[in-house]
Structure formats: structure tokens, C-alpha cells
């Protein structure tokens, strides 16, 4: 569909803009050239007319509070103090202690619709409202420019409602005076209705990312700050506030994600007067953004997701990500990463044998991990010297790459471009490139420091070494690691903070490499899952969910990582029999049955697998390939547990004619049998043939109810499956079954 031209609105007149798409409405009010006020963000208001919109605005204005200001608070998207907002402001900055509370007035308003709903509607004077118009579109973007001449500042705001119903926003601040303007914070806020009173966000640490946590939204600020120079294993991920007791299917929820990989803030705030918001911004360190005349600073994109239930909220993120022009669309290659197979022990004979076994079970991409370069024989030296080690690879990487590609697999290579060991050639030659708060170095982490990509010479050095390798070898994939926090990350010699510049430089390097090598794919890995955000996913093609591949832990991590990203962007590998991270032992059945639900890979020394294991692994890889399109395009469904001993999740095709569901034994149940399970996301009028398609033999302890589908399967309507349900099987812990649902003809 051809995009519509921009609609120009008159900022001197009261105007209302209604964006409506995918079951979401955003109604904005612009009065007296003041910054936009989001009157409603939530469930769709189809057919909204100008008179009703004007009335809605009128009834949304709160009364004056006792001992409050004389005008009611009209919260704008910048949380401006002059409008009466006494919470966290969107802009914190000053010019020598002046211009710290600007009063912006709109100078231009443009609306760029994607899917027009209605033409510009003039209000009928007979309706009694003569001071407004309503512009209604479907998905679209509102562009607002505002100025404060007294503060010599210009502000540009973009608010976009995507076709998936995701609300995106960002702001740009420009200094128009000769004296510098120091920006301490610039962010946006989105309103929350009174019924949103329960918070869900996430905690975590290395090896256990995205741990859900809930609490009540009370008066005050629930502030999540990331000061690690990367997203963090303990990041808020998506900060959601909803109706108390909300789950995957029920309860209205409003969530916000700050799409940035460096320092950042995300918050939920409730004031004494009952008004409450979600907000987000980059967390700027002192002096990181100081604007000279004509210079600008732009916030990261902030993403607001409304839904009825967490699954609908997640679907808005997934649908938007899948709509991007650069979203990976070819089948996601089954990947072998050699790290847990060989670690730093790089020997051609062993790695070639591993490639042989990988190809035999259906692997499509082979990734050589850490240890191939410089003096990198362990994790204490060589990092930053991106030159193939002549000691380990006297003939270069060609013998291994030729063997891998000769087997029909792509070749991938591990890098950690933003980091450096002090014991490396580059650190010895250029100690000034190491980030530090001055003359002293930060405490080492994993025997490494941060290489300052904000220094043009350091950036060029890393880029040129990586480009040389990409031009010499057919590297189709980079595993891009990032193994330490950016604490005390300054630019030498004065030690000025440099996290902001470092983050943008990392994005720029990824973009530059891809521009020169359009088919290159990049994985965002950061001590596992410490850089999972929509900022890095502008450049990366998947994320590494966690360094912990223990399938028991991965069940929870997969469940919640998908609150933001769809399965095809989530690296999920078949682990070794004994977990590297936890020491637990799991069957191949459970390891593979957990991994097939993401972007499938293997991280296991296949040369140690016996014939039975190799045969079973081949079955699981074949199963994944057979269902890969459904797994990577369908809608993610997570069922609220009827018993904590069983978990269920699945994917349903867009037309609802096909689905896969996993039933997972998470613990021993307190009762037996557990009872009925109700599936979700199906078409009530369809009849579905339900079949158990789990590869391999049935696991120990599996007890099937009488209805359980044999080879022919059972046929039930979507209405029965969703409303009545079926009796669950009995599953021992760490076992699972996979059901395939196919709409039968007629």
C-alpha cells in the first residue's frame, strides 16, 4: 500500500489526533500549542467522532486538588513541571543553571498515516463543539516540533503507532544558543489508568536471566536503572503495570521497554493525586551530552505495549519486529557452536571431526568460538588482537573453513570487539585506548578491560582487523560477545565518561560491517543474555539467551525472553548431558525438546555422542526443520498454569489452521491426575486433529490418559479445546510431550 503524504495540522488551533491499529487506540490532544497530552492509550475506540473525542478530553481532565495549583494537571509526554506534574520530569538539563524548566510551545505538527481510517473531520457546530477537529488514522506517526525562545531550545517529538499496535516514541533536543546546554536526562512518559496497579518486571544475574518479579504500584517511583554500560542480565526487560492478577491471557496490561544497550532508566510512578505513568530514558553520566549551538541529542526509542494479557502484549512486539525490512526471513540455520565442546583447545583434527558429526545430524552453520586469535590460549591474554594465531592455525583458518563449507555448512566466528586484555599487543601499543576514569584502571573483570571505540583510531583499528578477516574468509556469521560491565568507563587522559559514545560506536561498527557485507548475520551475546534489547536488534539477527544451557533453567528464560522477542531471534541450544553451568544431568529428550522452540543450535561435543544419541538428535533436528516455519512465524501462546508441576506453551499459525503445544513436567504434582488443560489461541469453529509428535521414545514415567492421541490422533473443535480442555498426561520432572494440531478439512 502506498504511504499517504503527511497531513499538516495547525498548532495554533486545538486539535485531536486518533491513532488506531490492531485493537489499540491512542488519542492525543494539542491545546494552546502545548505539548501533546495522551488522553487515552489502550483498548481501541473504533468509530470515534470529533464530538465524542472532545467530550472524552473534557471528562479526562482531573479536578484541582486541595492545596494544589489553580489549574488541573494535563500531563504531557515530556512530564513538564509547568503543566503541574510534580513527578520525574522528562527533561533535566541546564545552561549555567538557567533554562532548566523550559516552556515549549508547538510550532509545527505533522501526521504521517500508514492506513487512513477516516478523512479529516470538521466538527459540526450543531454538536456544540466549535474549537476542535479530529484527525483519525490507522497506524501512523505524529511529528511535533516545539520551541522555547527564552531557553533557546528546540524540541522534536515522534510518536508512532505501528500496524501491530505498538506505540513508539523518541525526542530530539537542539540547543539554539551560543552557550552550551548540558543534558542530564531526556525521556518520555506514557500514562497509566487507575486500574493498573500491579508491576511485573525482571531481575536476574549471569546464568539466570529474566527472573520475573511482581509488586504493587504504590505512591512513589519504581525506578529500574542500568549502570553497567550494557543492558544487563538483571534488566527490567519489559516493565509492565496491569490490573491486579493479570496473566498471559487475561487482565489489561501496559508495558514499556527502553530500546538501548547502554546505561538506561525505566520507571513506573504514581503520584499523590493518583496520576501514574511509565517512563524511560538513557541514563547519561555527568557531561556525556553537552550541546554546543546547533547540536542535538536524540533519545533511544521507547516502546509502549498495551494488551489484554501478556501474550497479546508480547505479540505486539513480535509482529512489529517481524515487519521490519531487515528482519531475518530465510529459515534460521541450525547452528553448532564449539565452545562447550573444545573451549580453548583448538586442534584442526578435533574441530574437523566435530564438523563431520554436526553435518551428519543436520547442522547448517558451524561457529568457531573464542581462542582462534593472537595469544589467546585462555581468557587472560590476547583479547583485542583480531589476527589468526599462527601458533594454533599455521595455515590460517582455511583448512577448517574449507572442511566446514565442503560439508554444506556456513562458517561463523567469535569476536569480542569492544573488549581487550591488558596482556595483548593492542593494549601494550595503545594503553590510552583502554577506558578508565583517569590515570588508574577500573578493576578487571574476566582479566579484561574495555577498548574505547569512541576514540576514532581505536574504532578504525578494530574495524580494519575485522574487515580484513571478513574479506579473507567466507564468514557468514559473527558471534559478537561482550563479557564485562562498563564500570568507570571514561576516555583517557581526563577520564570523562564515555558509555554513551561507546554504545553508539558499537552500533555504528555493527552497521558498517553489515553495509560492507550485506549477507553477514550477527548474534548479540553478552556474558550470555546481558544485551537483549531492541536497540541492538536494529543491527543483530538474534540474541544469545544465556550462557546457562541447562534446559530446566532455560524453560523459564525462554518463557520470559519471549515477552520482548519472537522465538526466531532467541538462541536456544541443545546442551551437553551434564550442564556446563549447573552440573545437572538431563536426558537428550529434555535438552532437545527445550531447544527446538527457539533458534535451534547445539553446544555439545558430538564426537562423544553414541550412536543412539546421534540418531535421536537427528530426529529432533529434523523435527525442528519440519516445523521451523510455524515455530518462527506463529503467535506465541503461554498458558497460565493450572498446577505448577506442569507448564504449557505453544505457537499458533496466523490463520489458526495449525499449532504446536508443549506440555512440560516441571515438578512432581501434588495430585494425580492433575486435571484438564485448556489450550488457547485456536479458532472455535475449526475441528483439529490432535497428535503427539514428540520425537524419540516416550520418556520414563509418562502416563497417558485414555483420550491421548495414538497414531491417528483425536479430533476436537477449537471451542472444546479452549473451553473444556482435555485431561493432562502424567509427566515426570524434566520430561515433555509435543502436540501438533491441524485443522481437519471441513
Tell me the per-residue pLDDT of 701-710, one tens digit each, with 9 for 90 and over. 889 999 998 7
pLDDT digits 0-9 by tens, 413-442: 999 999 999 999 999 999 999 999 999 999
The band of 132, judged by pLDDT with boundaries at 50, 70 and 90, is low
Cβ–Cβ < 8 Å for 157, 76: no
Q: Which of 311, 370, 385, 547 is catalytic?
A: 547
Examine the pLDDT at 73 and tell me if it is beyond 90. no
Q: Is the pTM of this model over 0.85?
A: yes
Examine the pLDDT at 122 and tell me if it is beyond 60. no
The ranges assigned to domains in the chain are 7-61+74-323, 637-743
Q: Is 49 exposed, middle or buried (0-12, 13-18, 19+ CB in 10 A)?
A: middle
637-743: which CATH number, 3.40.50.10800, 3.30.1550.10, 1.10.10.60, 2.60.40.1180?
Answer: 2.60.40.1180
Q: Which of 448-457, 569-578, 664-673, 678-687 has the lowest mean pLDDT?
A: 664-673
As a whole number, mean pLDDT of residues 267-277 equals 96
Which CB contacts under 8 angstroms, 24+ apart, belong to 62-71?
62/273, 62/274, 62/275, 65/272, 65/273, 68/273
As a whole number, mean pLDDT of residues 84-98 equals 95
What is the pLDDT, as a whole number, of residue 325?
A: 96
pLDDT digits 0-9 by tens, 576-595: 999 999 999 999 999 999 99
CA 329 vs CA 68, 320, 541: distances in Å: 55, 14, 10
To the query of whether residue 369 is one of the catalytic residues in this protein, the response is no
Question: Please, which residues have CB within 8 angstroms of residue 129's CB and are 6 or more apart in sequence?
Answer: 50, 51, 54, 55, 123
Q: Per the structure block, which three cell numbers stand in for 302?
A: 521507547
Exposure pattern of 276-308 as b/e (b: 16+ CB <10 Å)?
A: bbbbbbbbbbeebbbbeeeeebebbbbbbbbbb
To the query of whether residue 273 is one of the catalytic residues in this protein, the response is no
Q: Per the structure block, which three cell numbers stand in for 615?
A: 540418531
For 7-61+74-323, which CATH superfamily applies?
alpha-galactosidase from lactobacil brevis (2.70.98.60)
Q: What is the DSSP letter of 746?
A: -
Q: Is 351 exposed, middle or buried (0-12, 13-18, 19+ CB in 10 A)?
A: buried
Closest by CA to 544, choosing from 573, 511, 578, is 573
Examine the pLDDT at 711 and tell me if it is beyond 80. no
Give CA–CA dist 325/265, Å, rounded.
28
For the chain, percent of residues with pLDDT exceeding 70:
97
Examine the pLDDT at 2 and tell me if it is beyond 50. no
Backbone angles phi, psi at 27, to 5 degrees: -110, 120
3-class DSSP state of 566: coil
Give CA–CA dist 462/450, Å, rounded.
13
The band of 688, judged by pLDDT with boundaries at 50, 70 and 90, is very high
pLDDT digits 0-9 by tens, 495-543: 999 999 999 999 999 999 999 999 999 999 999 999 999 999 999 999 9
Which position has the grid cell 564468514?
475
Q: Which of 29, 201, 234, 481 is catalytic?
A: 481
Cβ–Cβ < 8 Å for 454, 508: no
As a whole number, mean pLDDT of residues 107-112 equals 94
Closest by CA to 645, choosing from 701, 690, 692, is 701
Amino acid at each position: 500500500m502506498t504511504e499517504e503524504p503527511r497531513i499538516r495540522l495547525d498548532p495554533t488551533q486545538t486539535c485531536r489526533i486518533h491513532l488506531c491499529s490492531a485493537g489499540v487506540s491512542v488519542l492525543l490532544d494539542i491545546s494552546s500549542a502545548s505539548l501533546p497530552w495522551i488522553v487515552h492509550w489502550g483498548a481501541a475506540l473504533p468509530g470515534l467522532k470529533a464530538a465524542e473525542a472532545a467530550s472524552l478530553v473534557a471528562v479526562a481532565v482531573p479536578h484541582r486538588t486541595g492545596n494544589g495549583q489553580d489549574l488541573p494537571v494535563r500531563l504531557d509526554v515530556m512530564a513538564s513541571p509547568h503543566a503541574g506534574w510534580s513527578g520525574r520530569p522528562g527533561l533535566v538539563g541546564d545552561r549555567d543553571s538557567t533554562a532548566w524548566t523550559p516552556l515549549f510551545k508547538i510550532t509545527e505538527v505533522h501526521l504521517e498515516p500508514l492506513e487512513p481510517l477516516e478523512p479529516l473531520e470538521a466538527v459540526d457546530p450543531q454538536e456544540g463543539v466549535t474549537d476542535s477537529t479530529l484527525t483519525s488514522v490507522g497506524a501512523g506517526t505524529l511529528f511535533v516540533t516545539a520551541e522555547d525562545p527564552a531557553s533557546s531550545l528546540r524540541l522534536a517529538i515522534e510518536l508512532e503507532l505501528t500496524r501491530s499496535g505498538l506505540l513508539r516514541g523518541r525526542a530530539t533536543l537542539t540547543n539554539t544558543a551560543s552557550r552550551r546546554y548540558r543534558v542530564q536526562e531526556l525521556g518520555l512518559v506514557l500514562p497509566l489508568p487507575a486500574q493498573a496497579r500491579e508491576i511485573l518486571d525482571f531481575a536476574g544475574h549471569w546464568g539466570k536471566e529474566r527472573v520475573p518479579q511482581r509488586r504493587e504500584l504504590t505512591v512513589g517511583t519504581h525506578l529500574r536503572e542500568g549502570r553497567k554500560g550494557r543492558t544487563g542480565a538483571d534488566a527490567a526487560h519489559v516493565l509492565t503495570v496491569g490490573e491486579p492478577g493479570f496473566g498471559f491471557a487475561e487482565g489489561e496490561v501496559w508495558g514499556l521497554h527502553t530500546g538501548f544497550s547502554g546505561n538506561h532508566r525505566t520507571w513506573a510512578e504514581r503520584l499523590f493525586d493518583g496520576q501514574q505513568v511509565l517512563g524511560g530514558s538513557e541514563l547519561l553520566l555527568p557531561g556525556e551530552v553537552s550541546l554546543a549551538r546547533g547540536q542535538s541529542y536524540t533519545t533511544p526509542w521507547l516502546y509502549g505495549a498495551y494488551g489484554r494479557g501478556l501474550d497479546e502484549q508480547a505479540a505486539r512486539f513480535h509482529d512489529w519486529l517481524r515487519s521490519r525490512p531487515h528482519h531475518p526471513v530465510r529459515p534460521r540455520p541450525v547452528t553448532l557452536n564449539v565452545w562447550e565442546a573444545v573451549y580453548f583447545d583448538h586442534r584442526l583434527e578435533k574441530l574437523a571431526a566435530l564438523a563431520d558429526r554436526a553435518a551428519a545430524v543436520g547442522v547448517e552453520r558451524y561457529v568457531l568460538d573464542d581462542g582462534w586469535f593472537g595469544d589467546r590460549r585462555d581468557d587472560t591474554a590476547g583479547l583485542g588482537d583480531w589476527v589468526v594465531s599462527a601458533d594454533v592455525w599455521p595455515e590460517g583458518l582455511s583448512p577448517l573453513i574449507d572442511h566446514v563449507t565442503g560439508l554444506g555448512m556456513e562458517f561463523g566466528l567469535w569476536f569480542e570487539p569492544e573488549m581487550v586484555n591488558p596482556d595483548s599487543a593492542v593494549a601494550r601499543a595503545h594503553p590510552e585506548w583502554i577506558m578508565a576514569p583517569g590515570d588508574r584502571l577500573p578493576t578487571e573483570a574476566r582479566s579484561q578491560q574495555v577498548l574505547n571505540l569512541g576514540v576514532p583510531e581505536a574504532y578504525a583499528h578494530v574495524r580494519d582487523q575485522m574487515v580484513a578477516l571478513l574479506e579473507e574468509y567466507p564468514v557468514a556469521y559473527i558471534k559478537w560477545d561482550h563479557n564485562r560491565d562498563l564500570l568507570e568507563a571514561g576516555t583517557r587522559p581526563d577520564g570523562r565518561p564515555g558509555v554513551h559514545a561507546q554504545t553508539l560506536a558499537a552500533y555504528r561498527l555493527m552497521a558498517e560491517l553489515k553495509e560492507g557485507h550485506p549477507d553477514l548475520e550477527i548474534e548479540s551475546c553478552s556474558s550470555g543474555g546481558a544485551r537483549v534489547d531492541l536497540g541492538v536488534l536494529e543491527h543483530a539477527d538474534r540474541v544469545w539467551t544465556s550462557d546457562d544451557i541447562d534446559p530446566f533453567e532455560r524453560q523459564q528464560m525462554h518463557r520470559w525472553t519471549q515477552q520482548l522477542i519472537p522465538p526466531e531471534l532467541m538462541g536456544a541450544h541443545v546442551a551437553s548431558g551434564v550442564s556446563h553451568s549447573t552440573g545437572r544431568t538431563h536426558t537428550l529428550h529434555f535438552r532437545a525438546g527445550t531447544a527446538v522452540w527457539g533458534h535451534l543450535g547445539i553446544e555439545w561435543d558430538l564426537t562423544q555422542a553414541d550412536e543412539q544419541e546421534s540418531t535421536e538428535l537427528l530426529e529432533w533436528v529434523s523435527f525442528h526443520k519440519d516445523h521451523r516455519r510455524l515455530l518462527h512465524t506463529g503467535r506465541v501462546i503461554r498458558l497460565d498454569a493450572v498446577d505448577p508441576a506442569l507448564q504449557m506453551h505453544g505457537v499458533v499459525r496466523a490463520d489458526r489452521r495449525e499449532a504446536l503445544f508443549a506440555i512440560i513436567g516441571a515438578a512432581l504434582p501434588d495430585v494425580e491426575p492433575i486435571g484438564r488443560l485448556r489450550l488457547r489461541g485456536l479458532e472455535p469453529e475449526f475441528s483439529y486433529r490432535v497428535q503427539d509428535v514428540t520425537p524419540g521414545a516416550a520418556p520414563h514415567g509418562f502416563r497417558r490418559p485414555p483420550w491421548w492421541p495414538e497414531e491417528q490422533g483425536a479430533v476436537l473443535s477449537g471451542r472444546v479445546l479452549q473451553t473444556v480442555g482435555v485431561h493432562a498426561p502424567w509427566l515426570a520432572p524434566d520430561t515433555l510431550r509435543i502436540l501438533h494440531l491441524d485443522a481437519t478439512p471441513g
